[in-house]
Amino acid sequence: MTQSDHPTEGALREAILYEALSWVGTPYRHQASRKGVGCDCLGLLRGVWRSVLGCEPEEPGVYSADWAECCGEERLLSAARRHCIERAHADPQPADIVLFRWRTNLPAKHVGIMTATDAFVHAYEGAAVVVSPLVPQWRRRIAGLFAFPMPLSSISRK
């Protein structure tokens, strides 16, 4: 393979942003992941992953809709660490995956994709997929920041 057969990090980030923003307006539906039909925050991430990288790395299984679940393991954070590249919390970049926890003692239960250094796209319960500013109330709830892995094959916009 030649170097031109491999996408650059910039091309990957551009493809992620293009796809993630195309989901804006998709209605909120717990555990769904279909653009224009319905998704939750994880479903948004799963749909973008499928479009840009192909097959999902693992099935998420059943999960609670309760953002403030008081017990349980760090399933979302653990999966991100298995499949993505962890980054410094203080340096969010466009196309990074951002995980949130409601309180310090709760597991991370919300995910979005950064659209800028100060905004992210996410599925908001009771509404739809929206772009929100990364205001201090969101920023202090960041549980993890991750880059998508580089794909094994070329990127193409769908």
Q: What is the CATH number of the domain that holds 135?
A: 3.90.1720.10
pLDDT single digits (tens) 46-84: 999 999 999 888 888 777 666 555 566 888 999 999 999
Q: Which pLDDT value is given to residue 149?
A: 93
Residue 158 lies in a domain: no
Residue 6 scores a pLDDT above 60: no
Q: Give the pLDDT mean for 27-44.
A: 96
Domain carrying residue 102: 3-56+66-147
Q: Is residue 88 part of a domain?
A: yes
CB 29 within 8 A of CB 126: no
- What pTM did the predictor assign? 0.88
Dig out the tokens for 124 from the structure: 């908001």
> Which has the closest alpha carbon to 122: 134, 111, 138, 135?
111
| Residue with token string 């653990």 | 78
Residue 156: inside a domain, yes or no? no
157 assigned to some structural domain? no
Q: What is the mean pLDDT of residues 111-138?
A: 96
